[in-house]
């Protein structure tokens, strides 16, 4: 398998912002729905959808009404989400210091939220639980943390009758835990890892039988000890089902009994369902940075990784894990040594430039370096000119205000044009505006960071995959694709508001 960092050529539309503790579920084979999470000390409630067929991210306009009159769920993270047919069900999570116990369904055909009033053995509010679909009707949920204690209960939800049933299990059971995974594999629920009572992080694997009514099995737990290289103890990891493999990625553990610090993982371990053993997944290049509380979904033969947290950084990057014969795997990789050499060439060239351009070129070069943009020597410099010398910008601005203004009032007309771009819809942008819009976007980036330490001030420095400046290296508007326009305008509006 081959890890590849996704870039702007892979997607169109509005990519999700950096986050951790979110959920991402496959709806059918055509959509991946990302919901909620935590970032910048706030809980999120937005939805980002990846349209697999068209390679576009979009944010649907959802309708609905809850018991308190709200359109959809409250912001949250560390909840559970399960997809059945075209519906995404979510339960629980945390918002602020409050553990949640509400239950919602999103119909992804009409993008409508419904708060569901369920009955039966209702589960208590909780976070860091884990759940999985049983066939195309039921959901099983296990464990979690209710703010006071670790849980080991098992609940079954019938999504048609909306009845919860707490499963009565006789015999030995796993220790209570949170931050684990729970995955249905044929007739069994497999639970791996998590943080247990008192705080220890676990690496045990358990199977729960008796979830299929037709089998008439007595519910019971069995601890599995499989051969091979089993994953180290961890929580906040993901287990993704693909073919006859279960793929474990990421999570965090401890550095041993003498260490108080968490260690974050970026290893890949597979549970081979045919040979029934653990195997280390062979990858022929560098994996993504270590992380936990990310999402990993399977799309055909590809896996897509998004977000997460490593104790310091909240990620917004997107990564592909693909077979070696996948076209994405044949994409040229950026060699860090080449970046260093190129930067040295660029800086040398900048030193011979006129003095008045040095500040702009330095900002450009540093941005390109931090963004990790693959550039040739002929393309090294982005042509960012001052607004007073941007004839196309001036012509557009005067036409926009409807009159030719004196030079002293050019700033007024430029600002009016920017206000137009700040609020306009992508469909209303005309082709003749794209060149001026692109250059003004690049100017805003440089002006925002001129005179500051780019290494400390760039939003993408701490979130290397957030890609808010994905069009900074584009030399002219002819290099833009039509599906780039909404994302360019979205980023421009973010820069403008900042």
* Confidence band of 409 (pLDDT split at 50, 70, 90): low
Asked if the model's pLDDT at residue 370 lies above 60, the reply is no
- Start-to-end CA distance of the chain, whole Å, equals 40
Tens of pLDDT, residues 422-468: 888 887 788 788 888 888 888 888 777 654 443 333 343 333 334 45
The CA-CA-CA angle for residues 178, 181, 182, to 5°, reads 110
Asked if the model's pLDDT at residue 373 lies above 70, the reply is no
Percent of the chain with pLDDT over 90: 51
pLDDT number for residue 378: 34
From residue 99, alpha-carbon distances to 92, 348, 367 in Å are: 7, 56, 41
* Confidence band of 302 (pLDDT split at 50, 70, 90): very high
Weakest-pLDDT range from 113-122, 286-295, 344-353: 344-353
From residue 317, alpha-carbon distances to 31, 41, 82, 111, 374 in Å are: 19, 19, 23, 26, 17
How far apart CA 135 and CA 211 sit, in angstroms, is 10
From residue 369, alpha-carbon distances to 312, 342, 382, 454, 455 in Å are: 22, 9, 13, 10, 10
Asked if the model's pLDDT at residue 90 lies above 80, the reply is yes
Mean pLDDT score, 62-67: 84
Of residues 144 and 213, the one with the higher pLDDT is 144
Asked if the model's pLDDT at residue 81 lies above 80, the reply is yes
pLDDT number for residue 357: 41
How far apart CA 237 and CA 231 sit, in angstroms, is 11
CB-based contacts of 305: which residues, under 8 Å, 6+ apart? 249, 288, 294, 295, 296, 318, 319, 320, 321
Kindly report the backbone phi and psi dihedral angles of residue 430, in degrees, each rounded to the nearest multiple of 5, phi listed first. -95, 155
Name the E strands within 159-311.
163-166, 177-178, 181-185, 188-196, 201-209, 220-224, 238-242, 245-249, 252-254, 262-264, 268-272, 277-280, 295-299, 302-306
Tokens of 131: 């759940």
* Confidence band of 142 (pLDDT split at 50, 70, 90): very high
Weakest-pLDDT range from 42-46, 321-325, 327-331: 327-331
pLDDT number for residue 450: 59
CB-based contacts of 420: which residues, under 8 Å, 6+ apart? 400
Domain boundaries, the chain: 2-330, 336-497
Neighbours of 125 (CB within 10 A): 17
Mean pLDDT score, 264-288: 91
How far apart CA 226 and CA 118 sit, in angstroms, is 38
Weakest-pLDDT range from 23-27, 53-57, 132-136, 487-491: 487-491
pLDDT number for residue 280: 92
Of residues 97 and 428, the one with the higher pLDDT is 97
How far apart CA 418 and CA 398 sit, in angstroms, is 12
How far apart CA 350 and CA 472 sit, in angstroms, is 18
Question: Which of the following CATH numbers is that of domain 2-330: 2.40.10.220, 2.40.100.10, 3.40.50.2000, 2.120.10.80?
Answer: 2.120.10.80
DSSP 52: T
pLDDT number for residue 256: 56
Asked if the model's pLDDT at residue 291 lies above 80, the reply is yes
* Confidence band of 175 (pLDDT split at 50, 70, 90): very high
Tens of pLDDT, residues 188-203: 999 999 998 777 899 9
pLDDT number for residue 104: 96
Asked if the model's pLDDT at residue 58 lies above 50, the reply is yes
pLDDT number for residue 137: 94
What does pLDDT average to over the chain? 82
């Amino acid at each position: 398998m081959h890890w590849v960092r996704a870039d702007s050529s892979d997607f169109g539309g509005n990519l999700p912002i950096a986050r951790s503790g979110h959920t991402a579920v496959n709806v059918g084979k055509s959509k991946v729905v990302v919901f909620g999470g935590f970032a910048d000390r706030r809980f999120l409630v937005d939805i980002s959808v990846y349209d697999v067929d068209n390679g576009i991210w979009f944010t649907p306009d959802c309708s609905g009404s809850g018991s308190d009159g709200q359109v959809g769920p409250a912001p949250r993270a560390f909840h559970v989400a399960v997809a059945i047919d075209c519906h995404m069900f979510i339960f629980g999570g945390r918002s602020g210091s409050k553990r949640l116990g509400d239950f919602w369904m999103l119909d992804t055909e009409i993008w409508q939220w419904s708060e569901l009033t369920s009955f039966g053995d209702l589960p208590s509010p909780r976070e860091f639980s884990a759940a999985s679909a049983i066939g195309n009707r039921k959901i099983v949920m296990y464990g979690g943390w209710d703010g006071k204690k670790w849980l080991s209960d098992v609940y079954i939800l019938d999504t048609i009758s909306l009845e919860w049933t707490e499963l009565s299990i006789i015999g030995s059971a796993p220790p209570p835990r949170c931050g684990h995974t729970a995955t249905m594999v044929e007739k069994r629920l497999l639970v791996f890892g998590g943080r247990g009572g008192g705080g220890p992080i676990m690496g045990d694997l358990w199977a729960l039988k008796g979830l299929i009514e037709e089998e008439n099995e007595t519910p019971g737990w069995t601890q599995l000890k499989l051969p091979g290289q089993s994953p180290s103890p961890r929580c906040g990891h993901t287990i993704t089902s693909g073919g006859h493999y279960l793929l474990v990625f990421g999570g965090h553990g401890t550095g041993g009994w003498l260490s108080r610090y968490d260690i974050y993982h970026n290893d890949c371990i597979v549970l081979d369902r045919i040979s029934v053993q653990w195997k280390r997944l062979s990858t022929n290049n560098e994996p993504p940075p270590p992380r936990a509380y990310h999402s990993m979904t399977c799309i055909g033969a590809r896996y897509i990784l998004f977000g997460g947290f490593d104790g310091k950084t909240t990620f917004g990057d997107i990564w592909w894990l693909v077979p070696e014969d996948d076209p994405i795997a044949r994409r040229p990789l950026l060699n860090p040594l080449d970046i260093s050499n190129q930067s040295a060439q660029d800086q040398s060239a900048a030193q011979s430039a006129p003095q008045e351009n040095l500040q702009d070129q330095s900002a450009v070069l540093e941005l390109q370096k931090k963004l990790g943009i693959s550039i040739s020597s002929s393309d090294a410099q982005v042509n960012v000119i001052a607004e007073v010398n941007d004839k196309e910008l001036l012509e557009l601005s005067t036409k926009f205000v409807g009159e030719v203004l004196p030079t002293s009032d050019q700033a007024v007309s430029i600002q009016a044009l920017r206000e137009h771009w700040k609020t306009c819809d992508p469909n209303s942008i005309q082709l003749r505006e794209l060149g001026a819009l692109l250059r003004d976007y690049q100017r805003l980036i440089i002006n925002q960071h001129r005179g500051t330490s780019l290494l400390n001030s760039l939003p993408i420095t701490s979130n290397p995959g957030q890609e808010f400046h994905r069009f900074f290296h584009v030399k002219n508007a002819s290099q833009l694709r039509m599906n780039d326009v909404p994302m360019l305008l979205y980023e421009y509006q973010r820069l403008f508001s900042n």
